[in-house]
Structure 1
Amino acid sequence: MLRAGCVVAALAVSCTVAVAGPAAAAAGDGCGPWTSTLVTSGAGMLENLEFDGAGSMVLSQSAIVGQGSLLTMSPDGSRKTLVNNVNGPGGLVAQDGAVYFTTGNSTVSGLFGIADGSLGRVDTSDASVTTVADSLVMPNGLVALGGDRFLTTRTLADPGLTVIGRDGQTTVVRRDLGTVDGLARSGRNVFVTTTFDLTTAIHILDADDLFGPVRTITLPGFGPANMADDLTVGPDGALYVAFNAGGKVVRVDPEWGTSCDIASGLPLTSAVKFGAGPGWDPNALYTTSFLGDVHRLDRVSGGPS
C-alpha cells in the first residue's frame, strides 16, 4: 500500500490550492480539469504498476489469501501472467531489461516483523527470476538509487527505510519519518509518503545523503482517511500521489508545497505512473486500485495548466 518555505520535518508547512480555481490557474500549477478512462477491470487486488519500456505495463497483483503474481498488460487492456506464485508483491522498478519487485508486502508480516520478504528480478525477455535480497520485513515502496542499489519502505510496526546493496545486504537508514509507504525519485531528490500518520506527509531526502536533513510537505486532510500510497514524478516536475482511502489523485508542487485534487471517485487507488514505452502516452497518468481497475487520466485540452 499503501514547498516554498518547507524546511526540516519539525517545521513542515501545509499549503493547498483549490482544484481549477483562480489561484491555481494563476499559479500555472496544472490543477485544471482531468478526465478519467477505465483501461481494464477485474485484474485482482493491484498494489503497484510499472512500464517495462517495451510496450507492457507490469502490475503487482496481491491476494487477501494465498499467493499473488506479476502481470503484464498491453495498451488494449489484455493481460498475461509474468510471474506466478508471488508472496505479497509490492513495489516495481524497471531497468536494464528487467523488472525488480518486492515480495512479502503483507499486513501480517508488517505487524509481526516476519522477515519473509525479498527483492526479486525478472528478466522481461525470458521471464527468468532471480533473488537479489531476502529476509526483508514487509518491503513496500521501491526506488532505484543507482549502482545496483535500491531503497524500500517498511510501513507498519517499526516503519523505516532500508537500502539494499548490490551484494544483497540491507541497511536500515531511517526510522524517524513515520509510516512510510510510497517512493519516487527525481535527480537527487527521493520522495516518501506517509500512510497512517495523523497528518499526511511527503518527505524529501537527498539520495546521496539519506541520513541527512529532510524537507517535509504536509497535505490537507486526516492522514488515515487519506492513506497516501504510492507516488510518481510527472514530466512537469510535479508529484502525483495516490490517496488510497481518499479515492483520489493529488498533484503536489514540490517547490512551493501547494496541492490540488486532479481526480476523485477512484476507490482504493494504490499507485500512479505516467506512461512509458510503445502504446503508452507519456503525458497520461495511469492508476491502479485494490479493486482491480486500471484508469487513464488525461488533462483536458485547453484547460488551465
Structure 2
Amino acid sequence: MSADYYTHLERGRERHPSAQMLDALSRALLLSDALREHLFRLAGTVPATRPVETIDPVLRAMLENYSAAPAFVMNAATDILAANAVAEGFFSAYPRLDNLARMTFLEPVSRDFCVDWTWTCQAMVATLRQARARYPEDPRPRCVIDELHTASAEFAELWRSYTVCATTGEPREFVHPEAGALRLTYRSFDMSAAPGQRLMLYQPEAGPTTDALARLRARQFPADDPGCHAPGHGEGAGAYPELVPNPTHPRPRDHIRRRVLAWCLATVALTAVPATAHAEPETCAPTTATTVTAATVPYLDWAENLGFDADGDLWVSRLYRNEVQRYDKSGHVTATVSVASPGAIRLGPDRRLYVVYGDTSLNLLPGAHGSGVVRFDPTAATPVPEVFVDGLAMANGAAFDDAGNLYVADTGSGVVRIRPDATIDTDWTAQARMSGLNGLAVQGNSVYTTAYLTPHGQILRLPIDAPAHPSTVADLSLADDLAAAPDGSLYAATTAGALVRIDAPTHGTCTVLTGGPLTAVAISPEPDHDLLIATGTGDIVRVRR
C-alpha cells in the first residue's frame, strides 16, 4: 500500500477499498479483532472470519466443572480442543480423543460404537464441507479432508455424492463397551467469541442412559481407597467411613483436584477485598458423624444443598437429577419436586421453601441468564414450584434476613438482594458486585459469602448497610457453602473435604471433620441443632457436636 493511496483513503477520496487492502491496513495498525471487524463494516463489507484455535480459559474451566453429561469443544476441522472427564469416559473405547472425523472414519471401533454409523459419517462430511466453505483460508480442514480422502473409501464416496445430512434433534444410539446401550441427544453451540469453535453437549435420556453415565463418571472419578480412611467416631452401622473427625491430612478426590486446577486457569476477576493473613484451622473438639441417608448412585445423586421446612423435614437438592427431595426422620424420600439444577434451599418467612435453580456453569456462557429462585408450599400433597425471581446468571447460595429480604450469591455477578415482593434491590446489589461467589449466610447485620474462585477461598463479610465494603473473615481452600449457627459461629463446607467452624469476630477457625467432597451444611431445628452435611457422592451426614 503506497503512502498516496493511504492518504486518499484517509481523506475519503477512495470509497471502495478491497478486502485485501483493509486486511493489510488492519495488520499495519495492529487492530484487535473487534476493531478490524468495525473497519470492514465501515467500508461496507464483511471481513473474512479467522478461526480461533485456542480455548478460552473460562470456557475450559466450565467444561471441567460440568460433569452431568459429555461435553467438548471442537474446531472447524473437528479437532477436539478440550473435553470434560465425562466425554473422555464416553469416548474411552477409542485409542485417542483427537479428531472426531478421523475417529469416525478411521477407527474400527466406531462402527460398533455408533449404532447409526452411516448417519454419523454423513454428519462428519457435512461438517467438513461447511468448514471448507466457511473458512477457505484455513489449512486445517483441508488437511483433514485430504487425509480422509486417501485413507477412507467411505469418506471419498460420501464426499463425491454430496449427500445432505439433516442434523435433527432426535436421540442417537451408542454402544459403549463398559456402559452398554446409550441414548443421547446432542446439541451444538457456535462460540461467537471464538469463530470456528463449537461447544458440543450430549444430553442423556432419563433412565438407563443417565445411570450408565453415572457409572462412567464413577470410573473416571474413583473414590479413594477405603483402607486409607480411618473409622469415624460413630458407633455401629451408622458410622460414616468417608468422613473422619479431626484427621490432620484431608485427601480430596481426583476430580476435585481437576476442578481446582481448572478454576485456577479461569480469568475471573474478583473485586479487590482487603486480605488478612490467617493461620490454618486448628482441630475442634471431637464430634460424631453418622450417615442419615446414602446415595443410590454415587455422584449422580450429588447433593448440592439442603435445608429444613417449618415441620423439620429435610430437603436435599439433587443437582444432576434436577430435583429436590424431602426426607422423613427415618431418611426415606417422601416427596420429589422438579427443579432444574437446584442449589440452595431456604425456608422463607411465609413458610414456603425457596430453591435456587439454574446452578450450572453453562449459565455463565455469554447471553445465558437461565438462573433464579422458585418457591413452593412444602406441605402440599404435590408441591408445584413457581418462579419467584429469574434472569440471574448462576445463582447458588441464599439466605433471608430478619426483614424478609432474600440474598442470593450469584457466581456471575455477586450478591443479589431480593425484596419480599420479588423485586431486586438494584442499588444495594450494584454495591455488592463481584465474581466467583458460591455459598451465603446471613447473621445479624452481616452477609457472609464464600469466594470460591479466589486462590485462598475467602470467606467474606458484607455489612448489610455498607455492602460496597467487604472484608475477609477467613481463608479456606474451596469453601463452598455456609450456615450460621444460633451461637453466632459460622460453619463452612469445602469441596476440598473439610467442615470448618469460624468465629467471625476473631477470625478463629477449627476443623470439625474432613473427608469429601463436602458441598453444603445446614443447622437442624431445635432442640439439638445438629449439623447436616451434603456431600458430592450424594450421602447426607449428621454431625453431633
Residues 136-171 of structure 1, C-alpha deviations (whole Å, 9 max, x = no match): 21111111135443111222xx44122223343333
Residues 82-117 of structure 1, C-alpha deviations (whole Å, 9 max, x = no match): 312x11111121022210011111111124451111
- 1:37 aligned residue: 290
Residue 191 (structure 1) aligned with residue 448 (structure 2): yes
- 1:117 aligned residue: 371
- 1:275 aligned residue: 524
1:163 paired residue among 414, 417, 420:
417
One-letter amino acid of the structure 2 residue matched with residue 237 of structure 1: G
One-letter amino acid of the structure 2 residue matched with residue 46 of structure 1: A
Task: Give the fraction of aligned pairs with identical amino acids, expressed as a percent.
Answer: 27
**2:397–2:438 Cα contact (<8 Å) kept:** yes
Residue 131 (structure 1) aligned with residue 382 (structure 2): no
**2:432–2:467 Cα contact (<8 Å) kept:** no
Higher helix share: 2
Structure-2 separation of matches of 1:169 and 1:176: 17
**1:19–1:262 Cα contact (<8 Å) kept:** no
Quick check: which has more Rg, 1 or 2? 2
Cα pair distance change 1:40/1:201, threshold 3 Å? same
**1:269–1:287 Cα contact (<8 Å) kept:** yes
**1:52–1:58 Cα contact (<8 Å) kept:** yes
Residue 205 (structure 1) aligned with residue 459 (structure 2): no
Residue 15 (structure 1) aligned with residue 309 (structure 2): no
SS in 2 for 1:259: strand
**1:145–1:207 Cα contact (<8 Å) kept:** no
Shift of 1:40: 0.9
Residues 62-94 of structure 1, C-alpha deviations (whole Å, 9 max, x = no match): 11xxx511111122111133312x111111210
SS in 2 for 1:114: coil
One-letter amino acid of the structure 2 residue matched with residue 228 of structure 1: A
- 1:262 aligned residue: 512
Shift of 1:32: 1.0
Shift of 1:175: 5.6
| Unpaired segments ≥5 residues, structure 2 | 1-64, 66-258, 260-271
Structure-1 separation of matches of 2:534 and 2:352: 21
One-letter amino acid of the structure 1 residue matched with residue 498 of structure 2: K
Cα pair distance change 1:116/1:219, threshold 3 Å? same
One-letter amino acid of the structure 2 residue matched with residue 14 of structure 1: A
One-letter amino acid of the structure 1 residue matched with residue 493 of structure 2: A
| Unpaired segments ≥5 residues, structure 1 | 3-8, 21-30, 221-225, 300-305
2:401 paired residue among 138, 141, 145:
145
CA RMSD in angstroms, aligned pairs only: 2.4
One-letter amino acid of the structure 1 residue matched with residue 356 of structure 2: T
- 2:59 aligned residue: none
- 1:73 aligned residue: 327
Shift of 1:176: 5.1
2:488 paired residue among 227, 234, 237:
237
Structure-2 separation of matches of 1:103 and 1:218: 28
Residues 2-46 of structure 1, C-alpha deviations (whole Å, 9 max, x = no match): 9xxxxxx744323336534xxxxxxxxxx2111211111116111
Structure-2 separation of matches of 1:257 and 1:60: 30
Structure-1 separation of matches of 2:281 and 2:420: 44
One-letter amino acid of the structure 1 residue matched with residue 471 of structure 2: R
Cα pair distance change 1:174/1:105, threshold 3 Å? farther
Structure-2 separation of matches of 1:214 and 1:18: 22
Q: TM-score, normalised by structure 1?
A: 0.80
2:342 paired residue among 54, 74, 89:
89
Cα pair distance change 1:113/1:227, threshold 3 Å? farther
SS in 2 for 1:199: coil
Mean CA deviation greater in 182-191 or 202-211: 202-211
Cα pair distance change 1:238/1:215, threshold 3 Å? same
Cα pair distance change 1:111/1:257, threshold 3 Å? farther
SS in 1 for 2:363: helix
Mean CA deviation greater in 75-84 or 247-256: 75-84
Residue 289 (structure 1) aligned with residue 538 (structure 2): no
One-letter amino acid of the structure 2 residue matched with residue 263 of structure 1: L
Q: Which has the higher contact order (CA 8 A, sep 6+)?
A: 1
Higher strand share: 1
Residue 48 (structure 1) aligned with residue 48 (structure 2): no
**1:98–1:123 Cα contact (<8 Å) kept:** yes
Structure-2 separation of matches of 1:236 and 1:147: 20
SS in 1 for 2:538: coil
**2:502–2:508 Cα contact (<8 Å) kept:** yes
One-letter amino acid of the structure 2 residue matched with residue 250 of structure 1: V
- 2:111 aligned residue: none
Cα pair distance change 1:93/1:135, threshold 3 Å? same
One-letter amino acid of the structure 1 residue matched with residue 459 of structure 2: I
Structure-2 separation of matches of 1:113 and 1:45: 27
